[in-house]
C-alpha cells in the first residue's frame, strides 16, 4: 500500500516537473560533462613539476640541497632511508594536491620517478 502511495506521489511530481529544452549553444558544453570541468590546458607543465619536486626535496631536513638534481636517487645519492622517502612522497602529495596510491608510492625512489609520475598525473595541481 505504501509503495502504491509513493508511486502516485512520484507520478504527480513528475507530471508537474518541467525541464526546459536545451539551447543549441549548450549542446557542445553539456555533451561531455567531464571536459566541462577540466581541460588539457589545466595541467601543469613539466618544468613546473621539476621545479616544485626539487624544491620539496631540497626543503626536507637533512638533505644537502647541492646534491638535489632531477636525476638524483633518494637513498643512493641523498642518503635518505625508507622512512624519509615515505615522508617526501607525502610532502609531494601535499604540494601537488593529489593522492598517490601505495603501490605507486612504493615505486617513487628518486626525483626522476617522482617527476614522471606527477607530470603524467591528470589531477596534479
Residue in the structure block whose three cell numbers are 506521489: 9
Task: Identify the CA nearest to 67 among candidates 111, 116, 113, 114.
Answer: 111
102 is catalytic: no
Task: Identify the CA nearest to 108 among candidates 67, 56, 41.
Answer: 56
Q: Distance (Å, rounded) from C-alpha 13 to C-alpha 54?
A: 58
Catalytic residue selected from 42, 81, 84, 102: 81
Active site (catalytic) residues:
81
Amino acid at each position: 500500500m505504501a509503495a502504491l502511495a509513493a508511486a502516485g506521489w512520484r507520478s504527480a511530481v513528475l507530471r508537474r516537473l518541467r525541464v526546459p529544452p536545451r539551447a543549441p549553444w549548450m549542446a557542445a558544453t553539456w555533451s561531455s560533462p567531464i571536459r566541462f570541468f577540466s581541460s588539457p590546458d589545466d595541467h601543469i607543465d613539466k618544468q613546473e613539476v621539476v621545479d616544485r619536486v626539487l624544491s620539496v626535496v631540497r626543503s626536507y631536513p637533512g638533505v644537502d640541497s647541492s646534491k638535489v638534481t632531477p636525476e638524483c636517487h633518494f637513498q643512493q645519492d641523498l642518503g635518505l632511508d625508507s622512512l624519509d622517502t615515505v615522508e617526501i612522497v607525502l610532502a609531494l602529495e601535499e604540494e601537488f594536491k593529489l593522492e598517490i596510491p601505495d603501490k605507486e608510492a612504493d615505486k617513487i625512489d628518486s626525483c626522476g620517478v617522482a617527476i614522471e609520475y606527477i607530470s603524467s598525473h591528470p589531477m596534479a595541481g
